[in-house]
């Protein structure tokens, strides 16, 4: 994250170069533009649609669908009829078959409350800058996903002993030479009782943006694992190695120095999410008229549980425990809050730091990588308490 001090330093650097301070540099708090879209979402890209949730919507444990971020790599399918839609299951199975939406509805249904986060969430805060959608805090949301277990569908097909990975193919409309959106997950995760072929989100059929009529739901893992607009499930002997698995969505096996390229032969596919927390309010750069402040946000950790969130109101010198919200579920974030009173007016830096059930804690600096995946540094906001 660009600290306000660095930002002002840069701004005055720009002033020295041009002879005058650009007026927008004097008040801009966000490094990236913020275009307000429908339902108050931040439009990161229109083609293809990428919508980010602004910090003020982190106040709800379950994210309403209109506030749930959208991440599309290509065009959404334009011709998708619920009646003619079919999902085929094949590959390393005894009995390949296909299912209609009605067939899925007749199977035993299971609900998983999951925090879905894009692997690139927070990318905008990496230093040095990395290319890609410049997500800040809100490429993440929590919803109740519902549908049959992938395990039950695979059992019906009878996975052969050679079947080690399960591939998902989405119906996105592929522009030009871009390869289709296909990814795979290991058989152990595919047959976990919480991995779904989701048809519903927060009690209603999936909307087009979120994968109607059915998507994979791989809880606790990066959003890209949860393929939307599913058309095909194929059991493979090996991990799929197309574009969205390699070179896409890979992390170095050993930490890189910022600026270093990724050696694909020394990298692995990104799977579960990291331990992470964000401060939703007060927002960065805000001026507070009251000395009593409620610092609040959300914390999550993929397949692990959040055990504590600590807050600092003095830029990391001292830390206090935040109160965790009562609502919780295995793969879902915890909301948290901390009540604080400023002794005197002035500038303050708030920080939040989460720790999970595997003993992992957020680092001061996130592990830099060329695509900016899994950003999870201690979050911070700078605020001004008015006299």
User: Could you tell me the smallest distance in angstroms from the CB atom of residue 249 to Mo ion?
Assistant: 8
- Cβ distance to ligand MTE smaller for residue 73 or 276: 73
The binder of 170, among ligand MTE, Mo ion, none, by C-beta within 5 to 8 A per type, is ligand MTE
8 A C-beta contact, residue 163 and residue 92:
yes
**Cα–Cα nearest to 354, from 282, 306, 294:** 306
8 A C-beta contact, residue 198 and residue 146:
yes
8 A C-beta contact, residue 226 and residue 116:
yes
245 lies in the site for Mo ion, by CB under 5 A: no
Residue labelled with tokens 């299971």: 110
8 A C-beta contact, residue 201 and residue 184:
no
The window from 63-71, 90-98, 122-130, 282-290 that contacts ligand MTE (CB under 6 A) reads 63-71
Q: Residue of minimal CB distance from Mo ion?
A: 118
What does the per-residue mask of binding to ligand MTE show for 89-108, with x meaning CB under 6 A? --------------------
What residues numbered 194-223 form the site for Mo ion, per CB under 5 A? 223
What residues numbered 193-212 form the site for ligand MTE, per CB under 6 A? 210
Among 130, 224, 251, 273, binds ligand MTE (CB under 6 A): 224
Residue 32 in tokens: 């990236």
The binder of 210, among Mo ion, ligand MTE, none, by C-beta within 5 to 8 A per type, is ligand MTE
The binder of 229, among ligand MTE, Mo ion, none, by C-beta within 5 to 8 A per type, is ligand MTE
Among 44, 67, 71, 149, binds ligand MTE (CB under 6 A): 71
8 A C-beta contact, residue 170 and residue 227:
yes
The binder of 274, among ligand MTE, Mo ion, none, by C-beta within 5 to 8 A per type, is none
How far is 236 from 102, CA to CA, in rounded Å? 26
71 lies in the site for Mo ion, by CB under 5 A: yes
Burial 66-94 (b: 16+ CB within 10 A, else e): ebbbbbbbbebbeeeeeeebebebebbbe
Among 1, 150, 159, 224, binds Mo ion (CB under 5 A): 224
The binder of 377, among ligand MTE, Mo ion, none, by C-beta within 5 to 8 A per type, is none
Among 1, 41, 42, 70, binds ligand MTE (CB under 6 A): 70
How far is 74 from 177, CA to CA, in rounded Å? 12
The binder of 181, among ligand MTE, Mo ion, none, by C-beta within 5 to 8 A per type, is ligand MTE
Burial 313-339 (b: 16+ CB within 10 A, else e): beeeeebeebebeeeebebbbbbbbbe
How far is 8 from 156, CA to CA, in rounded Å? 61
Give the residues lining the site for ligand MTE (CB under 6 A): 68-73, 116, 118, 170, 172, 181, 210, 223-224, 226-229
């Amino acid at each position: 994250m660009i600290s306000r001090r660095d930002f002002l330093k840069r701004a005055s650097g720009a002033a020295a170069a041009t002879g005058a301070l650009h007026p927008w540099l004097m008040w801009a708090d966000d490094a990236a533009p913020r275009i307000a879209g429908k339902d108050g979402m931040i439009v990161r890209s229109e083609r293809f649609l990428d919508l980010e949730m602004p910090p003020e919507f982190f106040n709800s444990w379950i994210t309403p669908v209109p506030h749930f971020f959208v991440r599309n790599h290509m065009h959404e399918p334009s011709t998708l009829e619920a009646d003619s839609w079919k999902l085929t299951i094949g590959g390393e199975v005894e009995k390949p078959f296909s299912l209609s939406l009605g067939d899925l509805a007749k199977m035993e249904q299971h609900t998983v409350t999951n925090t879905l986060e894009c692997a690139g969430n927070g990318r905008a805060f990496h230093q040095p800058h990395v290319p890609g959608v410049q997500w800040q805090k809100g490429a993440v949301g929590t919803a109740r996903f519902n549908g049959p277990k992938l395990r039950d569908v695979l059992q019906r097909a009878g996975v052969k002993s050679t079947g080690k990975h399960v591939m998902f193919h989405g119906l996105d409309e592929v522009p030009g030479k871009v390869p289709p959106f296909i990814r795979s997950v290991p058989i152990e995760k595919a047959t976990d009782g919480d991995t779904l072929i989701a048809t519903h989100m927060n009690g209603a059929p999936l909307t087009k943006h979120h994968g109607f009529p059915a998507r994979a739901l791989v809880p606790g893992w990066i959003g890209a694992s949860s393929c939307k607009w599913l058309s095909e499930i194929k059991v493979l002997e090996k991990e799929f190695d197309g574009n969205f698995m390699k070179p896409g969505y890979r992390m170095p096996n050993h930490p890189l120095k910022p600026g270093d390229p990724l050696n694909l032969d020394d990298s692995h596919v990104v799977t579960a999410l990291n331990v992470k927390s964000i401060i939703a309010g007060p927002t960065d750069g805000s001026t507070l008229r009251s000395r009593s402040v409620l610092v609040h946000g959300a914390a999550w950790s993929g397949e692990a549980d959040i055990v504590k969130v600590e807050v600092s109101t003095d830029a990391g010198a001292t830390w206090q425990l935040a109160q965790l919200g009562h609502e919780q579920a295995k793969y879902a974030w915890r909301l948290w809050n901390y009540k604080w009173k400023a002794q005197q007016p002035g500038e303050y830096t708030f920080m939040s730091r989460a720790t999970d059930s595997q003993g992992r804690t957020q680092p001061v600096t996130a592990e830099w990588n060329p695509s900016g995946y899994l950003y999870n540094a201690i979050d911070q906001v700078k605020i001004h308490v008015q006299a």
